[in-house]
Amino acid sequence: MLEVDDVHTYYGDSYVLQGVSLRVERGQAVGVLGRNGMGKTTLIRSIVGFTPPRKGRIRFKGQDVTGWASNRVVALGLGLVPQGRRVFPSLTVMENLAVAERERANTAGAWTMDRVIELFPRLRERGQNRAGKLSGGEQQMLAIARALMTNPDLLVMDEPTEGLAPLLVREVGRVIESLKASGLSILLVEQNLALALRLSDHVHVVSRGRIVHSATPQALAANEDIKSRYLGIGGVAS
């Protein structure tokens, strides 16, 4: 579904991603973990086309999309849930969803307005409210719902639980689990280690622009040295 091959990305003279490689297979959820400022969001920006890499290749659904404009990558079937939600604050909930709607050639399993609202019933209640008036948790639900309305084959999520209360973290986790069960491919950038380990099939740890450790969730959960050194965590809550 997605192949990132030896990607090097800069901001001006600042060398951020230093040879990152990873894969997301069809139907797989892959987690990317790491402290703030280690290059996780730059990886997302490189994949989506916001900050194209200077070296390396990004292939999505078998096509080389390196350097493509982000709208072309999205049209190919990539859905983005950006860090900070970035909903359209002056539009209503329903208008936010409508502007993102993209038809799917194969209607089987397509995300429609009704299907999205069924997944997020709170959005139906708030449908005519302006997005800027929603709570942080409601805006995050809207950001995920808006990405689904593009009918993606791969959903890229950048810190979807950032700043949320524990109850809402569990709700977002439930939604991601449901999406994974439906067969959607997911690339999940997340600082909540316990959540990422529960939802991912494979995980990568990023530090200073490099992937320094790759493992199954079970192996990373048991590796106290890697968790302490790169994630600042001595243990994982159940």
Distance CA 111, CA 101 (A): 9
User: What are 121-131's pLDDT values in tens digits?
Assistant: 888 888 888 88
pLDDT band at 108 (very low <50, low <70, confident <90, very high): low
Task: Enumerate the domain spans of the chain.
Answer: 1-77+153-238, 81-150
pLDDT band at 106 (very low <50, low <70, confident <90, very high): low
Distance CA 16, CA 43 (A): 9
* Model confidence, pTM: 0.86
Q: What is the pLDDT of residue 63?
A: 96
How far apart are the two ends of the chain, measured CA to CA in Å? 30
pLDDT band at 132 (very low <50, low <70, confident <90, very high): confident
Task: Over range 187-212, report the average pLDDT.
Answer: 94
Residue pointed to by tokens 């809550």? 237
Name the fold adopted by 1-77+153-238.
Rossmann fold (3.40.50)
- Assess whether pLDDT exceeds 90 at residue 205: yes
Candidates 84, 187, 74, 92; CA nearest to 133 is 92
User: What are 35-64's pLDDT values in tens digits?
Assistant: 888 999 999 999 999 999 999 999 999 999
